[in-house]
Amino acid sequence: TDYNTLVPVLEKHRKAFGDTLEAVTADSGYCCEKNLVYLKENGIRSYIKLQDHEKRKTRAYKEDIGKYYNMTYAVFEDEHYYICHDGRELHHIRTESKEQDGYTQTIEVYGCEDCSGCEHKEKCCKCQGNRIVRVNEELTQFHKEVLSNLNSIHGALLRMNRSIQAEGAYGGIKWNRAYTRIRRRGLEGVNFEIGLISCGFNLHKYHLKRSAKKAVA
């Protein structure tokens, strides 16, 4: 998958050019905790689109009372807990670990002591017992920082440029040129074929720009 390729590409760039990028912009396929940790540790600002970026804009996302991000986050005497829509407290129960692609995620589990008699339970959860929520607090904090970057003026400009420069080129090659499959096999053959396709795309783009300038003149 895409998110396993980001760090190797950035490391290859650093070794080739001897410097570290100031910022990275990418689509949601590259958004995972492992990548965000790497960017943070190396002082690289992240403009990677969140996997649920579009979903976060919907009313259903904002009004889902069963999700921890729509509950009240509270702190009392160094204890962190959540307060649900019905005003009941969900306190910390345990910490869980999850291994994924060589990276260990830490999940904090919070639960309500008693959900009986809650008039909002059908909307909150489908479970028979009490409400339990699992929160990756480190990833949640990363998401807040990334959203702040994405929603800035500079972030909007980077997202727009990525769509035009990268996605537009792929769209032109695949759709306008009907190039949807590599015919050659082997790394050398694939590199050669992609090189020819790229040269053709660039020459065609250059020709259009030249023709437009002559028409204006």
Beta pairing partners, 110:
92, 133
Residue 6 has pLDDT above 90, yes or no: yes
Q: Please state which of the ranges 24-33, 157-166, 187-196 shows the lowest mean pLDDT.
A: 157-166
Half-sphere exposure of 111 (CA within 13 A, CB side): 10
Measured CA to CA, the distance from residue 187 to residue 8 in angstroms comes to 18
Mean pLDDT of 83-98: 94
Beta strands in 62-187 (DSSP E): 72-76, 79-83, 89-100, 103-112, 132-135
Mean pLDDT of 196-217: 87
CA distances from 30 to 18, 49, 53, 138, 169 (A): 23, 8, 13, 17, 19
Measured CA to CA, the distance from residue 125 to residue 208 in angstroms comes to 57
Residue 167 has pLDDT above 80, yes or no: no
Local confidence band at 217 (pLDDT 50, 70, 90 cut-offs): low
Measured CA to CA, the distance from residue 93 to residue 161 in angstroms comes to 45
